[in-house]
Chains A and B, each alone.
Chain A
């Protein structure tokens, strides 16, 4: 795993140095390096600012997001275009592999890698070779409990996201049904109905998830639609988004995939960020800074996961995290956060199930395929067949991306989970030592 390799060498370096001397200058250097690394890693995730001279119009059907170069404007223009296609040639372009489209599965995998690297480095800065007694003196004595508490909350978010990815896999297989059905030739009524049935279930489930999470008074808010459209051959889509009274609850057997009753990911994020205050004055040069940086990164990562993946109760999810602009290291983080925040605002208006790029595309293609199904008449004209084929190919591409990416992403979320647990335990160990060394004072 690339994350582990990085930190390995880093840890060595730090530990060697720490073991030699406790030189305050070197420590300062470590802190600076840490800031720099965090900033560098995060800015790798930013979309390339200007699209490199890529003859976009030359490719006749502008690919939605397959060529990552495009994803910069992907957010504003292309996404509104309902059924643009995707030629699945991800990095057929020249040059080094560009960053994956923002908010895509592979982007999130990269984000989690970044998190793991930063976390390893942070721990090295915070713990290694340090006099444990510092943990019980200001400013750490106050900051550490907050850090540990935030870690706990992040774990719940990880679990919620894991469930969300599970739901995505469910959606993926629904989409796959549609793809399989519509790849048949000739496209017949049966196939179309089969596809529509699956897609309607998919869309209802997406909407259900979304609606439910917008309705906090409903006791089902913690539950999630995990069902297949019922009898009636996929008519559910006809109501999708139109009639809020037609909650699929009657026809849906919903399944609680929840973290816990009345758990809310929005509130959790809120709780994680509320006590996040940048260090001031003299503290800003000491250990308070890396603690703050790491917490900000943690909150950002969790927040963006919650925004992207269906998550329990997201109503009121912040669109903005309080990170002061004047901090140099924070620029990329602020940049990313603003982009995602904008997307989220749009999402709240439009009501999609999450910002994950693949999912948004899936929803769009699904809607358009349902529309197609509604007006379907056998036999289909050749032009129509072509048109559908393009959409089906895009859906197939999305499914493939999910097939390839979701399980590794889920595993990575689990890795993050375990890492957080372990780091928390290590910090506790240090505090424990302090407790043993001095007269037992509750630390």
Chain B
């Protein structure tokens, strides 16, 4: 290779440089500038091919540096336009990049520079130097003290710095992904070399002769690391939020990495990364937000920073970028931040929506997002498990705390009956989702912290749930209206209570758990309960429950209590009816409704038990009998009590006439009033009608059969026999229709 020759030709140089190393007192910054200036010249042949950069390099090679140190903001502002230019000249640039090695070699031969221009060659020397330094024992190091730092250290510094300048020019930095594999690899090797070299040289920091070189190499390392850090950051910031609902649609990061970066995504990247990018984003199930190719670049850059002692910087960059990414993701799932104060003031409808969004977000994060985040950290910080774990757990903690804060705020919001079910939803989410995070992703300490926060949160929700549920008692007690429901129909309170209970029983298991684990029996003495842990108070509560009916769970006890209260309330309401029959109908209606609701829902049924249901049924039958007796006792008596009809073996006609008249009148009256009564349960309605018909019609038939003949057919019969047995049936079927004007069919 020709470069070897070049290097050898330059042999006289070492003394030259080392001497100037020892006279570095007179302002090495100038020297550095001088070298850089030289480098710029030297670089010109290379950049000549390089369409876009060529135009800028002559007059800008100095100014950007000044800008860079004084005012990064300005250069930042120029970035978008600069990248725009890159896009225009994209093809040329790529050609130039590919062509680089050859042109470099060519320039090396042609250039009559005082420095050996081949970085590769100098690197080998550096590597040897490094290994000799690290292999030599301490004593031999002391021997070395007399020897100067070899010239190629300076050469290496100059060459590598030139390369950094090339990549990291402050107005037009080269994107990391635009470097060829070869270039990026050699760059990172060089970074690694610099940091090793610096570490070794620093062992001689007491020796003044080394000071210049340490300064020089330290400076180069800092420049290199700045570039690496920037590239690490900008790659990190170009993530895509993996879409949960539709993995096909990869949503672009909507915010700050604005249109310019998107444009770069599209065109600027070299073909090899571009392909991978597209493939991976769409195919990869475990979409981490970055393509495989980008991930491996990130990992390489991170490694360079960690190895080079820039771990803090690296972690900061990573943390901020991922923190932002997670914030965006959380927002994308519809979770909005609200202050606790806001939540208290929010109307329930809006809050309900927010709770749904919260549940969605929380589940998504706990089941998918967090494990992705962990995978990402592990993929980037390969071989640095501790770093990856620390970063991940801090990130996760931040998000979880935010999420828990919302549910905390909800648990504190004003308690109201309609909130019960959403509260239970949150409770279940916390209960079910949290264990999913217990999958080894988190260090135990963070996990414990999150768990204890979540369990506190759950206790508070449970308190609220219990309180709301027990409020049902109060609302039943409070319902003391004096106006009876017209027609003895099902009372709204019954409907409300039963529907509420039915809905609540869809959460039966959770409610059982809530009552079992969190119910505080002695709420009165809250002072005593104030300072100890909720867990111990649970245990306490369990102990106190021994006085409850054996075999009944606390929730059952509570529901039974509610049912008893409802019964008592209905009982009182039934007294509001002056008509005892109507009172019975009212009790039947309501009792029937309750029973239907309970039987209709399996959870309810099992909660109340068969015995309870049987008891209720028999009570209903009792009301039915009461009704029959009250309403139909007299008419039936009229038909069946033959006393007075037969006088000395003869039928007393006037009495008979009177019987017919009074039966007719009673039946008319019953029909008139009771067809306005309401039995909305069809089965109950038909049961009632059938039972009435079965009672009245046979009696009527029998009465007719026996006494009808005594009335003179024609006028008399028409007058006294108002109803045929069939008519009775028709009219009975009109009962309990709730018709305000039951006259319609009467005319038939």
- A binding-site residues for B, Cβ under 8 Å: 4, 7-8, 11, 15, 120, 123-124, 127-129, 132, 152-153, 155-156, 159, 162, 166, 170, 173-174, 176-177, 180, 184-186, 188-191, 193-194, 197-198, 226-236, 238-239, 246, 248, 250-251, 253, 255-256, 258-261, 263, 268, 377-379, 418, 421-426, 429-430, 432-433, 435-436, 439-440
Contacts and interface: CB of A to CB of B under 8 A. Distances in A.
Interface in B488-530: 523-524, 526-530
Nearest to A425: B463
B557 to A, nearest CB: 17
A236 B72 contact: yes
B324 A253 contact: yes
B704 interface: no
Contact of B342 (A190, A255, A260, A436): A260
B338 interface: yes
Given A15-B528, A127-B530, A188 B339 contact: no
A42 B659 CA distance: 96
A432 B523 contact: yes
B569 interface: no
Given A253-B324, A429-B523, A159 B316 contact: no
B341 A156 contact: yes
Interface string B524-549: 10111111000000000000000000
A197 B226 contact: yes
B73 A228 contact: no
B307 to A, nearest CB: 16
B3 interface: no
Contacts of B168: 231
A392 to B, nearest CB: 16
Given A186-B205, A190-B218, A232-B170, A239 B71 contact: yes
B337 A261 contact: yes
Classify the interface of chain B: helix, strand, loop or mixed.
Answer: helix
A190 B220 contact: yes
B431 interface: no
B531 A173 contact: no
Contacts of B220: 190
B531 A255 contact: no
A429 B526 contact: yes
A123 B223 CA distance: 60
8 contacts: A123-B527, A155-B340, A177-B312, A190-B223, A233-B72, A233-B222, A379-B211, A436-B474
Given A128-B527, A129-B527, A228-B320, 8 more contacts: A124-B527, A156-B339, A177-B313, A189-B32, A190-B221, A231-B76, A260-B336, A378-B28
Contacts of A162: 401
A260 B72 contact: no
A15 B527 CA distance: 8
Nearest to A222: B337
Contacts of A152: 340-341, 344, 412
B219 interface: yes
A435 B415 CA distance: 13
B69 interface: yes
B456 interface: yes
B86 to A, nearest CB: 15
Interface of B: 24-25, 27-29, 32, 67-73, 75-77, 168, 170, 173, 202, 205, 211-212, 214-223, 225-226, 229-230, 233, 237, 256, 312-313, 315-317, 320-321, 323-324, 327, 336-342, 344, 398, 401, 405, 408, 412, 456, 460, 463, 467, 473-475, 477-478, 523-524, 526-531
Given A159-B340, A418-B456, A429-B523, A250 B73 contact: yes
B358 to A, nearest CB: 14
Contacts of B312: 173, 176-177, 180
Contacts of A425: 460, 463
Contacts of A7: 531
Contacts of B32: 189
B49 to A, nearest CB: 25
B531 A232 contact: no
A251 B405 contact: no
A409 B327 CA distance: 25
Contact of B530 (A123, A188, A418): A123
Nearest to A169: B394
B337 A258 contact: yes
Contacts of A436: 473-474
A250 B312 CA distance: 23
A426 to B, nearest CB: 5
Nearest to B230: A231
B215 A439 contact: no
Interface centre among A255, A258, A260, A422 (most CB of B within 10 A): A260
A146 B67 CA distance: 57
B340 A156 contact: yes
B412 A424 contact: yes
Contact of B229 (A188, A228, A235): A228
A268 B313 CA distance: 35
B29 A238 contact: no
A302 B226 CA distance: 40
A275 to B, nearest CB: 14
B602 to A, nearest CB: 32
Contacts of A123: 527, 530
